[in-house]
Amino acid sequence: MRNCLACGQPKSRYLGDGSSVHLFLPVETAATPFFERELEAARQRGAEWRKVAEERGKRKAAVQLPTGRLCRFCHQPLKQGPNSPHTHASFPGVPGKYIYCPSRVFSLYNAQGMEKELTWREFQQSDFYDAERDRWIADKRKT
């Protein structure tokens, strides 16, 4: 029986034309030194991989921090959505996008009498809407 030129494993005795088809029967394959080496190497790689995965698991933070752009005031993601307090809007006649953060607006106008954080719709009907619009326009002119 001849050996494979690529891996050194004995070639199959069922094809005598010199092709590189290897052993078919599991009993024949398991008895070769090549199979023993490969099996042991696979076991070592598996153990190594499990150890690396365990180390990565230890390093992961218990609480996953939000990714993407965060609000500079409340440190929540600026993405607009059902779970986000932020509303992306604009003031009529003023170019640019205004991102409404309820906690920021509440902290700005708490001293002037704002009693609670308002939704965007409530804020639009409040007296603080025009004051925030003017503040935002003045802030845009500075930068």
**Residue 86 CB neighbour total at 10 angstroms:** 20
Amino acid 3: pLDDT: 72
Q: What is the pLDDT of residues 77-129, one digit of tens each?
A: 888 888 888 999 988 888 889 999 999 999 999 999 999 999 999 999 999 99
CA 128 to chain centre: 38
- C-alpha 123/C-alpha 41 separation (Å) is 66
- C-alpha 10/C-alpha 53 separation (Å) is 36
Sequence spans of domains, the chain: 1-60, 87-142
Q: What is the pLDDT of residues 25-71, one digit of tens each?
A: 667 777 778 888 888 999 999 999 999 999 888 877 677 777 788 98
CA torsion sign for 15, 16, 19, 25 is positive
Which residue spans within the chain are E strands per DSSP?
A: 87-89, 98-100
Amino acid 15: pLDDT: 56
pTM of the model: 0.54
∠9-14-15 over CA atoms, to 5°? 80
Residue 77 DSSP code: B
Residue 77 vs residues 34, 62, 87: alpha-carbon distances, Å: 55, 19, 11
